[in-house]
Amino acid sequence: MTSKPDSTVPKEWIEIADRDLAFGKTSLKNNPRFLTQICFYFQQAAEKYLKAYIVAKKLPFKKVHSLPVLVNICRKKDASFSQLEHYAKFLTEFYFEERYPEFEAPSKLTYDIAQKAQAATQKIRAFVLNKLK
């Protein structure tokens, strides 16, 4: 395993997050019957955008999937991350719905909710990318 320069790691998190977001968007447009999985990818993208910021700013890295926890870590460096709390809370639900049967059935997901998940992820993306400029 080779060590990478610190500056490349956040970029890699962003690239992977962008692929997760693109997969979710394409799936929502072309095959919206898999809403649970699509929303899971939106949650995953948001998680990776936040982790990109955490890595870039050398904040404490935690292997967690709770977006509110990640937002709170980011807030230690920049209080304006509190603007993302609502989106983080909303998207975190989709991690659990996808991964554990007791959360999935019966699913209340609708196309409209999936569109809101996409929009929330895009807002987190834009916010994080702006902070990393």
Which residue do the tokens 């910021």 mark? Answer: 53
Residue spans of the domains in the chain: they are: 8-131
- The pLDDT of residue 9 is 83
DSSP 22-61: HHHHHHHHH-TT-HHHHHHHHHHHHHHHHHHHHHHTTPPP
The whole-model pTM stands at: 0.88
Q: Are 81 and 88 in contact (CB under 8 A)?
A: no
Model pLDDT for residues 44-100, shown as the tens digit of each residue: 999 999 999 999 999 999 899 999 999 999 999 999 999 999 999 999 989 865 555
Q: CATH number of the domain at 8-131, please?
A: 1.20.120.330
Model pLDDT for residues 27-38, shown as the tens digit of each residue: 999 988 899 999
The pLDDT confidence band at residue 7, using thresholds 50, 70 and 90, is: low
CA dihedral 38, 39, 44, 47 (to 10 degrees): 150
